Each structure stands twice: as structure tokens, then as C-alpha cells.
């Protein structure tokens, strides 16, 4: 059922088996997993079913480090969470993203990628995706279509799938009809309070903007409010002023990471009329259903190991051009083509009306042949190095509920830029060596970030996972080390972010956590 | 089309087209490798701006036409100096450009990552066209 917390009688005490805080991708996934179970679940959502400015403003805070201006715009605080405006790009993290890396501190998850695969497969279904198969050949990009250098060994063609699922609208009815799941809208968790032993959460006060208040006393709690809010709530929990809960080693809020997004430069292709189908957006029919995908390129695990490089997601858009006189003339000299002809005149007239950067596939569809690609404008998203100095803290101001707002101190280390520049330099070298084209990189060693550099909306790492409580807030089962009944879901538990979009991994981890909690309760 | 737009398009096309050009040059040509090279350069249709950028990026000892020619041939197999076929010379140049990238012999000209041999070719083209004060 879906209820409004503003209508709960003040002072009510709810006593479910499981209390989930946050109805985004992680929280909704968790709640759904309990529908068929005998356990009662309370799912608390700060917002309503739609955007409400006053609720959204509860995300406000300040930024004191690297520019980070999107506290109230990158996240959405209503039922469905940030999936209400996400792009739907889904793919698992890569094997190397889970591995400890020599010379790279803080890398390594408590398990390997393959261990998580069964939950990734289930996450594909939750996200409305195709099969758990990210090989380009399975999406119509055959090995022979992938030109050097993107056929290895240093760069590879990769696939992501595109989800059209908005978790709120997709799953609201199911949760509404679940007899043992109660969704409370407009319900704000106001900090967990420990029990008398201090080794578990005793209760969770809940407040509404209308002034109502009640309490949840559950056997198990799951915090699923996102990479920034998870840290905020933990820091604001327990006796205040104080360090918060789960923060015995001053780790809550630290290791705050984003995906570093910037222009990679321009590629001038050596063969402008080549087929570039290996890098496109498209659809594939798999088992009778249409699924959307995007192919992109990135460094391989081999070169990442060899040169100690981070993960990077490299994409490009195609800039089409009218006939270029010099190259056209040169082609006639080389190939002995008859000069002029109606085809070029007609094509140049049509192309003259097509302005701006366009997706190669659209033009191919229009003209059903290779189109003259003047250039590719490269876009990059790079993995940030985990750095304990990059952190979320409680700020000096409070929101309308009285909870401290966040202060974001997003920091970078020099290697974030230098290694990204190294990857681009390697890309320029490799496309030259392979005869693919020439790169004018927008980021070079020793130079500044490109002017469009920013940290995107993938907020990661603030309650990181590690078996050692001095290196992680949660253990390998995503339970707070020092609290027997408080778990954390979402990208805040990622020890490293990789370069891939996090939502599929968020959902996979939520499914795994649900399985774990069900065993725990049983 | 504005001059700037033409230069940009030509720059991109030329920077991109070296490998294709070098693979596709027609047969025939002069007897000596140097004459072949001098004859090939104008075919690149290289905008003066990129040729000038390459000259700025190259060391001081590689600024005159003759020094550029010598530098180019010094990186090629000996038979390049005797190449009577422009196609043969083009193939040798093409191979050397790939080797330059493989070996990290890269010159950055106007932001573009070019093979050293390629940059020398564009610089030579600029000199032959009379760009700069020490045409030779």
C-alpha cells in the first residue's frame, strides 16, 4: 500500500521487520523483493509521487571544494528517485573495476565481478533490459567491423544497454497492491538512534514538512538514499553533536567520487567515408524484442594494468561536412574519378541543410550509404581515484526539518588529470598508428582540464565497502560494521566507481542485499 | 565558405588524409627520390597554417627545405633515396608514419598529434609553397 506520512497519527510507532529509507532504484528494488515474503516492510520516501519544490529543497547544501553545483538538480527527491530523469544507460562494472590494483591505493572490492553476475542477470530484468550479454557481436557489431585500434590490444569496442524504466511509474502499482509492503510518502528519516547497547539501531524518527512525526522500530534497516544523502543521514544519526553512526574510523562521507566528464578532443578520420557502425546508438531484436544499445570504446584491462590507468568511457558524435574541396580533389587524383557529377552537387546541397553534430546512424538511414564524416567530437567519462580527502560533511545550516544540510568538499588528486591525459595520448598514438585518423586531444599532460569539465551525477563511495572496518563503513554484505541491523544500499557502498554508469550495479547489489536480509530474518 | 572555415576543413582533412594519401598516390614520377618528394608535397594541398604549425613544432635544425628533406630520408630505408616511383616512396612514407606512432615519435602541431615524418612532410610543403622566411 502507498500511504501519506502526513496523515499518520503523531507519535505512531511502526514495527515492521524491514525498514527501507529511500524509494529510488535501490529502495524500490529491495522492497519488491519482499513482496512475496512473509516479512512486513516499510519503505520511507521523502517526496511524493511527483516533483515538489519544497521537498527538493531538502537536498540543498554548500560546496567548498571543486565546483559542484548540482546538489538540488542532479538528484530527484520523490518516488522513483533519480530514475525519474535518468538516461537509462546500463552496463555492469568491468572485472578490473573490482580488482585490487598494485600501486593504486583503495582499489579492490570484497569480491570479484563474476561473483556478482547472478544478481546482474536479475538486475537486467528489473531494468527492463535485454540479455546479460555485452559482447558487441551479440548486438550486431561483428569483429570484422571494428577497425584498429579498437579491436585491441589497448582499446576495445564496448556495449551499454538503454533502459526505458522509470522505477516510480513502473513499480508503484505493484508496491501499492503488496499487502505487506507499506510505502510512506513525505516521510523523512531524521537520523537513526542506537539502542541501549550501541551495537544496533534502536529506532528511526520520521518527520514530515507538515510537522507530523512518528517512529519506526524495525528489526532491519536499509539506508538507500543515494551517494550523498546516505552519508548525510549517517553523520546526522546518533547523539548530536557527534560523529554520527558507523563512523568510528572517520570514514563516513569520505572517498566521495564522481565520474569525471569532459571533452576528449576531435578525431579527424583518415577515411571519412569509412563505415563507423561500430560506434553508434541503435536497436537490436533479441528473442523477438527490441532493445536499445549504445556502443562506445574504452581502454582494455590489459593496458589499464600495464600503465596503471583508470577506467574511461570514450564516446563520440559525428560531425558531418559538405564536400571538402581539397580532399575531393585529392580523391579524384588518387582514384581517377570523373570530375564533378550530379551526385556530389546534390549531396552537398542536402548536407548544406544539415547543421551541427549529428548521429551517424541518422544520416546513414537517410542516405543508406557511408556519409562523409568530417570529424568525431570525443566525449570522455573517467574514473576518479578514491581519495579520503574528497568528502561529504554536515554543514552549518539546517533544512526546514532541522537536519543539518551537507557540505560537499569534492576533491581531485593530480593523477585524475594526468592519467586521463595519458589515455588520450595513447588514443592519439594508437589511432595514428592504426591509420584510423588523427586526434587533437582537449586534455594534454600538464595542461588544464577542458573548459567543459565537470563531475557528473554518479555520486559514489561515501559509505564504502571493505572487510576491514578501518577501510570501509560497510562490510562485504553492505552492513555497517558496528551496527548489527543497519545496511546501506546504493552507489555509496562502491569502493571504486569504474567509468561505467552505476545503476545496474546498484540494482544488482540491492537484489543481493535483499537475498541476504531474507536469510538473516529467517 | 569563410577562409577560416575552409582552412579548418582542409586542416582536418589534410591532417586526416595523410595515411590515405600516402597509400594512394599514383605511379610514375621523377628519377630521384628528392625530386619525387618535392613533387609530392604540393599534392597534399596542405593549408599554410598547418604547415607553419608543423614548422613551429619541429626543432630549429629542421626548418629549411633541405634539412627537412634530409630528415625525412634519414628515417626511411636507403632505397627511398633512389625511388623512381612516387607510389613506392608513398608506401615507404606510410610505413614510417605508422612506425613513428608506434615508437612515440609524435609532433603536436596546432594541437594535432601527428607522426614526426608527417609533420616534416607538412613543414616541407609549407617551405616549398614559400611559407616562412627561409624557403629553400
Strands A18-21 and A220-223: parallel
Task: Give A187: exposed, middle or buried? Use CB within 10 Å, 0-12, 13-18, 19+.
Answer: buried
pLDDT > 50? residue B29: no
Average of per-residue pLDDT values in chain A = 91
- What is the pLDDT at residue A342? 39
pLDDT > 60? residue A329: no
The minimal CB distance from A433 to the residues B10, B101, B114 is found for B101
- What is the pLDDT at residue A127? 98
Map grid coordinates 600495464 to a residue.
A306
- A440 contacts in chain B (CB < 8 Å): 110-113
pLDDT digits 0-9 by tens, A336-353: 344 444 344 434 444 444
Confidence label for B132 from pLDDT (cuts 50, 70 and 90): low
- Angstrom distance (rounded) from CA B18 to CA A268: 11
Strands A201-207 and A213-216: antiparallel
Looking at per-residue pLDDT, the higher value among A282 and B23 belongs to A282
pLDDT > 60? residue A322: no
- What is the pLDDT at residue A193? 98
Q: Which residues contact A414 (CB under 8 A, 6 or more apart)?
A: none
Q: CA of A183, closest CA in chain B: separation in Å?
A: 56
CA angle A146, A123, A32 (to 5 degrees): 160
Nine-digit cell string for A326 = 581539397
3-class DSSP string for B5-70: HHHHHHHHHHHHHHHHHHHHCCCCCCCCHHHHHHHHHHHHCCCHHHHHHHHHHCCCCCCCHHHHHH
**Contact present, A333 and B23 (Cβ < 8 Å):** no
Map grid coordinates 588524409 to a residue.
B17
- Angstrom distance (rounded) from CA A264 to CA A260: 11
Map grid coordinates 551537507 to a residue.
A406
**Contact present, A280 and A158 (Cβ < 8 Å):** no
- Angstrom distance (rounded) from CA A96 to CA A106: 14
- What is the pLDDT at residue A328? 43
Terminal Cα distance for chain A, rounded: 24
Q: Mutate which of A307, A318, A324 to test chain B, going by most B C-beta atoms within 10 A?
A: A324
Mean pLDDT of B45-74: 92
Q: Identify the closest residue of chain A to B27 by CA–CA distance.
A: A334
- What is the pLDDT at residue B14? 54
Pairwise CB contact (< 8 Å): B9 & A330: no
Confidence label for B84 from pLDDT (cuts 50, 70 and 90): confident
- A352 contacts in chain B (CB < 8 Å): none
- B6 contacts in chain A (CB < 8 Å): 325
**What are residue A116's phi and psi, to 5 degrees?**
-85, -10
- What is the pLDDT at residue A422? 98
The minimal CB distance from B112 to the residues A321, A324, A438 is found for A438
- What is the pLDDT at residue B1? 45
The model carries a pTM of 0.89
- Angstrom distance (rounded) from CA A428 to CA A434: 10
Confidence label for B15 from pLDDT (cuts 50, 70 and 90): low
Q: Mutate which of A437, A438, A442, A450 to test chain B, going by most B C-beta atoms within 10 A?
A: A438
pLDDT > 80? residue B30: no
pLDDT digits 0-9 by tens, A310-319: 999 999 988 8
Confidence label for A373 from pLDDT (cuts 50, 70 and 90): confident
pLDDT digits 0-9 by tens, A25-71: 999 999 999 999 999 999 999 999 999 999 999 999 999 999 998 99
How high is the ipTM of this complex?
0.85
Phi-psi bin for A490: left (phi > 0), alpha (psi -120 to 50), beta?
A: left
Give me the torsion for CA of B31, B37, B43, B49, rounded to 10°.
-160
Mean pLDDT of A365-394: 85
3-class DSSP string for A504-518: HHHHHHHHHHHHHHH
Q: Is B105 on the interface with A (CB under 8 A)?
A: no
CA angle A78, A80, A85 (to 5 degrees): 90
Nine-digit cell string for A406 = 551537507
Confidence label for A371 from pLDDT (cuts 50, 70 and 90): low
Nine-digit cell string for A137 = 557481436
The minimal CB distance from A439 to the residues B44, B97, B113 is found for B113
**Contact present, B12 and B47 (Cβ < 8 Å):** no
Pairwise CB contact (< 8 Å): B113 & A425: yes
Pairwise CB contact (< 8 Å): B21 & A326: no
Q: Helix or strand or coil: residue B126?
A: helix
pLDDT digits 0-9 by tens, A138-182: 999 999 999 999 999 999 999 999 999 999 999 999 999 999 999
Query: pLDDT exceeding 70 applies to what percent of chain B?
Result: 73
Amino acid at each position: 500500500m502507498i500511504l501519506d506520512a502526513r496523515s499518520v497519527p503523531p507519535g505512531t510507532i511502526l514495527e515492521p521487520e524491514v525498514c527501507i529509507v529511500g524509494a529510488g532504484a535501490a529502495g524500490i528494488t529491495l522492497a519488491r523483493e519482499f513482496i512475496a515474503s512473509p516479512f512486513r516492510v516499510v519503505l520511507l520516501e521523502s517526496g511524493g509521487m511527483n516533483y515538489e519544490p519544497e521537498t527538493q529543497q531538502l537536498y540543498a547544501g554548500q560546496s567548498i571544494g571543486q565546483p559542484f553545483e548540482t546538489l538540488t538538480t542532479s538528484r530527484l527527491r520523490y518516488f522513483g528517485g533519480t530514475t525519474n530523469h535518468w538516461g537509462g544507460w546500463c552496463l555492469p562494472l568491468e572485472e578490473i573495476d573490482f580488482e585490487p590494483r598494485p600501486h593504486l591505493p583503495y582499489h579492490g572490492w570484497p569480491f570479484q565481478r563474476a561473483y556478482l553476475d547472478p544478481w546482474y542477470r536479475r538486475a537486467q530484468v528489473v531494468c527492463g533490459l535485454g540479455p546479460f550479454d555485452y559482447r558487441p557481436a551479440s548486438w550486431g557489431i561483428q569483429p570484422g567491423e571494428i577497425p584498429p585500434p579498437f579491436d585491441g590490444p589497448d582499446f576495445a569496442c564496448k556495449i551499454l544497454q538503454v533502459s526505458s524504466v522509470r522505477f516510480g511509474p513502473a513499480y508503484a502499482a505493484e508496491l501499492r497492491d503488496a499487502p505487506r509492503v507499506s510505502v510512506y510518502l513525505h516521510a523523512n528519516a531524521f537520523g537513526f538512534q542506537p539502542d541501549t547497547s550501541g551495537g544496533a539501531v534502536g529506532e528511526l524518527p520520521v518527520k514530515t514538512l507538515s510537522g507530523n512525526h512518528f517512529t519506526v522500530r524495525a528489526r532491519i534497516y536499509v539506508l538507500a538514499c543515494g551517494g550523498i544523502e546516505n552519508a548525510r543521514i549517517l553523520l546526522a544519526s546518533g547523539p548530536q553533536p557527534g560523529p554520527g553512526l558507523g563512523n568510528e574510523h572517520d570514514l563516513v562521507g569520505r572517498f566521495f567520487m564522481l565520474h569525471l566528464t569532459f571533452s576528449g578532443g576531435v578525431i579527424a578520420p583518415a577515411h571519412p567515408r569509412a563505415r563507423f557502425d561500430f560506434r553508434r546508438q541503435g536497436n537490436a531484436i533479441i528473442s523477438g524484442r527490441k532493445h536499445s544499445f549504445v556502443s562506445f570504446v574504452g581502454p582494455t584491462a590489459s593496458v589499464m594494468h600495464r600503465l596503471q590507468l583508470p577506467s574511461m568511457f570514450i564516446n563520440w558524435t559525428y560531425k558531418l561536412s559538405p564536400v571538402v574541396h581539397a580532399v575531393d580533389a585529392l580523391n579524384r587524383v588518387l582514384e581517377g574519378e570523373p570530375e564533378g557529377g550530379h551526385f556530389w552537387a546534390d549531396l552537398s546541397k542536402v548536407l548544406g541543410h544539415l547543421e551541427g553534430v549529428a548521429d551517424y546512424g541518422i544520416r546513414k538511414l537517410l542516405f543508406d550509404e557511408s556519409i562523409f564524416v568530417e570529424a568525431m567530437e570525443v566525449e570522455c567519462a573517467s574514473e576518479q581515484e578514491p581519495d579520503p580527502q574528497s568528502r561529504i560533511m554536515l554543514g552549518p545550516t539546517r533544512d526546514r526539518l532541522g537536519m543539518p544540510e551537507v557540505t560537499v568538499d569534492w576533491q581531485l588528486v593530480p593523477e585524475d588529470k594526468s592519467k586521463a591525459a595519458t589515455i588520450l595520448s595513447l588514443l592519439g598514438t594508437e589511432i595514428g598508428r592504426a591509420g584510423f585518423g588523427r586526434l587533437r586531444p582537449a586534455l594534454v599532460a600538464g595542461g588544464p582540464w577542458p573548459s567543459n569539465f565537470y563531475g557528473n551525477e554518479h555520486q559514489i563511495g561515501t559509505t564504502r565497502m571493505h572487510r576491514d572496518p578501518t577501510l570501509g563503513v560497510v562490510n562485504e554484505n553492505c552492513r555497517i560494521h558496528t551496527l548489527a541491523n543497519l545496511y546501506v544500499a546504493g552507489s555509496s557502498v562502491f569502493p571504486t566507481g569504474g567509468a561505467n554508469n552505476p545503476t545496474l550495479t546498484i540494482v544488482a547489489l540491492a537484489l543481493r542485499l535483499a537475498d541476504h536480509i531474507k536469510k538473516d530474518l529467517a | 565558405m569563410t577562409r577560416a572555415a575552409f582552412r579548418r576543413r582542409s586542416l582536418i582533412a589534410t591532417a586526416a588524409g595523410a595515411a590515405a594519401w600516402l597509400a594512394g598516390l599514383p605511379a610514375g614520377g621523377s628519377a630521384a627520390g628528392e625530386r619525387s618528394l618535392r613533387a609530392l608535397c604540393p599534392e597534399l594541398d596542405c593549408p599554410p597554417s598547418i604547415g607553419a604549425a608543423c614548422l613551429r613544432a619541429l626543432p630549429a635544425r629542421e626548418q629549411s627545405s633541405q634539412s627537412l628533406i634530409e630528415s625525412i630520408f634519414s628515417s626511411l630505408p636507403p632505397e627511398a633515396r633512389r625511388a623512381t616511383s612516387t607510389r613506392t616512396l608513398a608506401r615507404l612514407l606510410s610505413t614510417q608514419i605508422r612506425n613513428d606512432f608506434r615508437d612515440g615519435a609524435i609532433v603536436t602541431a596546432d594541437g594535432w598529434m601527428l607522426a614526426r615524418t608527417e609533420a616534416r612532410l607538412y613543414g616541407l610543403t609549407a617551405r616549398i609553397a614559400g611559407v616562412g622566411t627561409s624557403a629553400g
